[in-house]
Structures are given as C-alpha cells and as structure tokens.
Structure 1
C-alpha cells in the first residue's frame, strides 16, 4: 500500500520571503521595469544603488533619485560596479541582451544572485505578482510562464479577502510582541505559539481589527491560565466561563 505522502511536482520554484533590509542591491537600468524593481526593494527597506544614463530614466526613477531614496550613478554599467563587497543582489532592466548576458556571467563569477529582466534562464530568482495590505503580502508566480496570468490570479485572490485583514494582522503582531514581554522565556515558546494560534482561530477578523491596546492587556491576563476569553468577555472584562445574573427576568434569590 502506497504511503499517503504529498506527490512531488517538479518544475517549480522555492518561493521565499527574502529579507533584504539594510542590504545593498544594485539595479542596472532606469526605465519602467527598473522603477518597479526599485519600488519593491524600497518597500523591503533595501539599500539601492541605480546605474543608468540619465537619458534612460523614466519619471518615477528620476523622482526616487531626486528624493535621495537611492544612490545614483549617471553612466552605463561597468564591471567594477560589482566590486562592492556589500552587494548581495543584482537586477538588470536594460534593452541590450548582449550586455545583460555579460552582467549575468560576471555575477556568476562573483556568486552574486541576479535577475536579468525577461530572460528566465539567466535568473536566480523571479518576481511574482504581489498583493500588499500592510504587513500582508501574497505572491503569485507562474515560474516565468505567464506574468499577465499571475496578475489576473493575484487580483482574483485579493478580491476574496476581507478589507480589514491587513489591520487585523497588524493588531496580532502587536499582541505577539506584548506576549513576549509577559512570557519572555524560551521555555514559553511552545505555549506562546499555541495560545496565539487559538486567539487567531477563536476571534474573528473583525474582532482582531477592532481590538484596542487595553483589550490586548486584558486578553493577556488569560495567558497564564491558558484560556481564550471571547471578544465580548474582554470588552466587558468578564472572567471566561462566568455569567453574572443581572435580575433582568424580574426575580432574584435572596439569601
């Protein structure tokens, strides 16, 4: 009897969230494609260097340069541009296949990860179509087969998401950071993960989005006894599982 394991489907890519915060990335080119690459990098807090003749800059790239958001060299690419030991990634977006392939070869010699626009065989990584809502990022990739299809699929997925999901995730992140203060020890790790998972499952997205800082403090009181009070219990500051009779039925027991 065959084991019930997932079937291997070759031909895919290993989709990762590459942390480039405060890392140097070289972008070669200054047109529309380069503008998109630069925006993605700045959103990820990378340190971006752009090499391109000023005559080849589009308005958006020129704006980033004017705002000092990137380091800019007004010239064509030179092999010495790769000598900077801080460079961890290279992206090319130039209309010169021969020059692009040469840059690719130079990057391989220096073992620098590179993406050569519109040349999938000369790419260590690909860009997908990304939906962004605050801390939430969803990427759809077709492994270079159909960028437009990736965009269509991404839009369809985004249309099914609640409008407030980004805000809910932000609130969950705040709660997690507060929980680490309440229970900082490494030995608390498994309990922290399990407790946070239960909060995310038992509270609705609307509850998480509406959660305020004082609600978080109240909710965290239930961490030690490993309980998950409901949203209304937290708002009313009730003990989980306790119901208080308010006499609304018109009678009461007098002892």
Structure 2
C-alpha cells in the first residue's frame, strides 16, 4: 500500500504566495540587493520602510525614495525600527550587524530574510517570472541563485505569448460568474464549468474574449455547456435560448 503514495523528500521549502498587501516591511540596506528586495515587496503592495545611510544608496533605491514609493531613514539600523513591523529584509555588508538584527527578529517573532545567509532566513527569495497576474518562482532553497535564474529564463522562454492577458480575462470571467451564480452550493459547478472553458478554449480565444463575449458565454453556465469561441462571438447559439430571470442572463 505504501507504494501508492508519494515519497517524502525532506530539505525543501513550503512555497507560498505570501499576501503582504498593506503589511509593513522593513528593508535594512540600500545597495543593489536591497533594490531587488524593495521592488519585490512593492510589487506585492507592501508598505516599505528603508533604513540606510544615504552614502550607501544605489541609484534605484534613491529613485524609490525620491518618488515617495518608500519611507526612508538616513541612518543605520536601530532596534526600535522593529516596532510594528511584519517582515524584515536585510542587505548589508556587515555579518555581525545582520546577525544581531536576525536575533532581534527572533525575539520579536518577526519573519526575516538575511541576504546571503541561508541559516538566518525564515524564507528565501526565488527567481521570479512575471506576466501580469502570472508569477512563476524557481527556488534552489538558498543553494544556487544563479541556477534558479537560468531555470526561470528557460521556463519563461517556453511559455505561450499573451498568457498573462489570457489569465486576466479568465479572472474577470470568474468574477462575473460569481455574480450570476453567487450561492455557495454552486461552487463545485462553477469550478467545473470554468475548468472546461479553460480546457476547451485556446489561449488565443481567451486573449481575444471581450466583455460582450463573456456575457454571452455566461448564458451557457446554467445548462453547463461550453460552446466554441466562434459560436459565442457570432451569437449563433445564444439567439436560440430564451431569457430566464432567475440568473439575469441569457440561458
């Protein structure tokens, strides 16, 4: 019986999409590594504070400060910087100071990443490919960041064009579907129907789909069918149905 189940492979990380919108993130350092960290958390809509002497700022970090994208303190780290912070990222060329910050974070139970010191990290930054809502992360668990970058580039090179746009359209269609069928008991049917749309329509179809197409397509939800994109675009099938006010759409 045990052969039917996946084998446990220890030594990995639990890769999650960590939602840090409006969370307070402290970045200690202002060099090139800090610049990458700052961009990552800004992309996740975090509220970022940077602590670093101005002499240590690289041009990108200086730009973020000038544009008001981050809160800035022109000095070295102080323990009080950890007050009311949700996450800490350090990127400074001072191992002793980094370890001190790490220990303070442990005392306060604040998640931290100490650049280039894997044992002093609660989480790692992977190599990320971004296309609109699509994010793909490759992690080597701190062993080889350059290898992660190479693997990420190879994966990205093999992705279909416009996949980010297709995902955005699917997201809008899902939100419209929830308005059409909001009841909790509709959940399994909604998932099955959306899965079938994604399987039956090509990425090109999904990219081309507009708001009118979405509204027509939703007319096929109640009977649980998925017409071809051409049928929806031309409206051939929709005209054969009658209006049913129970869903507020053509059914």
Q: Which band: TM-score by shorter chain?
A: over 0.9
Aligned ranges for residues 25-104 of structure 1 at < 5 Å? 25-83=25-83, 85=84, 87-104=85-102
Structure-to-structure mapping, 1:1-255, within 5 angstroms: 2-83=2-83, 85=84, 87-239=85-237
Q: CA deviation at 1:3?
A: 3.5
2: CA distance, partners of 1:226 / 1:237: 17
What is the CA deviation profile of residues 71-90 of structure 1, one whole-angstrom value per residue up to 9, with x for unaligned ones? 0000000011112x2x1100
Unaligned runs of 5+ in 1: 243-255
- 2:50 is paired with a residue whose SS is strand
TM-score under structure 1 normalisation?
0.92
Deviation at 1:156, TM superposition (A): 0.3
How many residues in Structure 1 have an aligned counterpart in Structure 2?
A: 239
Unaligned runs of 5+ in 2: 241-251
Secondary structure at the counterpart of residue 144 of structure 1: coil
TM-score in terms of structure 2 length: 0.93
Structure 1 segments (4+ residues) deviating >4 Å: none
Deviations 1:49-90 (A, max 9, x none): 00000000000000000000000000000011112x2x1100
Whole-angstrom distance in 1 between the partners of 2:104 and 2:159 = 43
| Cα RMSD (Å) | 1.1
Looking at structure 2, the residues matched to 225 and 30 of structure 1 have their Cα atoms a distance apart, in angstroms, of 57
Residue deviations 1:95-126 (CA, integer Å, cap 9, x gap): 00000000000000000000000000000000
Shift of 1:185: 1.3
CA distance in 2, matches of 1:79, 1:186: 47
State the partner residue of 2:244: none
SS in 1 for 2:86: strand
